[in-house]
Amino acid sequence: MPRSAEVDGFRLAYDRTGSGPPVVLLHGWPGDRTDFRHVVPRLATSAEVVAADLRGFGESDKHDRPPADAYSAAAQARSVAGLIDELGLGRPVLAGYDIGSRIAQAVARIFPERTRALVIAPPVPGAGSRVFGAEAQQEFWYQAFHQLDLAVQLIDGRPDAVRAYLRHFWSHWSGPSYVPAETDLDHLVGGYGSPGAFTASIGWYRAGSGTVATSAAEQAPACGDRLAVPATVLWPEHDPLFPRSWSDRLAEFFSHAELRAVDGAGHFMPLEAPSAFAAAILERCQEGERP
């Protein structure tokens, strides 16, 4: 298993396969790079594919540092940009969901010269004050919980607690036809269950990068400041966190965003709709480079 050079003291574990236009895949919480195990084979015959564990996840480094410095969107983006440079990928298509979507957007915003296009599933900007509604808060409670020391005391280093906690999200956030396999949960517990691993994984939320925290300060940018990298936004039908009605403000934040509905799928797009996810990536790969 290769590991990247250090960026801010973090090394990323990654898998690399295939040949052709480069693609970088960024996973969500609670997951790791194996979230794309059904997407990679659909890409590798036509693209060079890199699937990475983000800082604090999987086999990548986990450090006990202030989350805002180590695990924020900007910090994660630095590691992704470093990996792109190290592997000589030039301007890859960045694809992600959940926190991987936010990090892909951060790379495109901070390092546009390293981004050919985005293929992302929610979250995206535009939730605004709707995230504070009663129905939404019934779903987003975990982001406040992750700010508490109690979350670490109850879950970190306790594999049984990790399994029960992660099972809730993988079962509740997925669509009606998807059930996480026990072997998949075994893998997640292996990655999140060792002492310090769960704490590192929630560093993203403790850094103020979650949807609730970012929506509190969200403002639509001026027209010239919208994210200019071309983006395909795949919006699932059954994601309880991000209802389709929240897709109405994409044009306020993206200059060139194509919205595509994915029926039948829930939050875990790479596993629930791998064909649709891969097809959107390959379409972006086949487009000419931007001038």
Return d(Cα 97, Cα 114) in angstroms, integer. Answer: 19
Residue 290's pLDDT is what? Answer: 45
DSSP 91: S
Return d(Cα 131, Cα 122) in angstroms, integer. Answer: 13
The label of the residue with tokens 């998807």 reads 178
Binning pLDDT at 50, 70 and 90, where does residue 246 land? very high
Return d(Cα 242, Cα 27) in angstroms, integer. Answer: 17
Kindly report the backbone phi and psi dihedral angles of residue 151, in degrees, each rounded to the nearest multiple of 5, phi listed first.
Answer: -60, -45
CATH of domain 14-286: 3.40.50.1820
Kindly report the backbone phi and psi dihedral angles of residue 265, in degrees, each rounded to the nearest multiple of 5, phi listed first.
Answer: -95, 155
Binning pLDDT at 50, 70 and 90, where does residue 288 land? low
Q: What is the pLDDT of residues 221-242, one digit of tens each?
A: 999 999 999 999 999 999 999 9
Residue 217's pLDDT is what? Answer: 87
Among residues 81, 88, 100, 85, the alpha carbon closest in space to that of 33 is found at 100
DSSP states of 116-149 as a string?
SEEEE-S--TT-GGGGGSHHHHHHHHHHHHTTSH
* Long-range contacts formed by 68-71: CB under 8 A, 24+ apart: 68/206, 68/207, 68/208, 69/8, 70/8, 70/10, 70/203, 70/207, 71/200, 71/203, 71/204, 71/206, 71/207, 71/209
Residue 124's pLDDT is what? Answer: 97
Return d(Cα 12, Cα 59) in angstroms, integer. Answer: 7
Residue 291's pLDDT is what? Answer: 41
The label of the residue with tokens 């790079």 reads 33
Residue 1's pLDDT is what? Answer: 83
Domain ranges of the chain: 14-286
Residue 223's pLDDT is what? Answer: 92
Strands (DSSP E) contained in the chain are 14-17, 22-26, 48-52, 93-96, 117-120, 231-236, 257-262
Q: What is the pLDDT of residues 152-208, one digit of tens each?
A: 999 999 999 999 999 999 999 999 999 999 999 999 999 999 999 999 999 999 999
Return d(Cα 212, Cα 66) in angstroms, integer. Answer: 20
Return d(Cα 191, Cα 82) in angstroms, integer. Answer: 24
Mean pLDDT taken over the chain: 96
Among residues 245, 240, 121, the alpha carbon closest in space to that of 169 is found at 240
Q: Are 14 and 4 in contact, with CB atoms under 8 Å apart?
A: yes
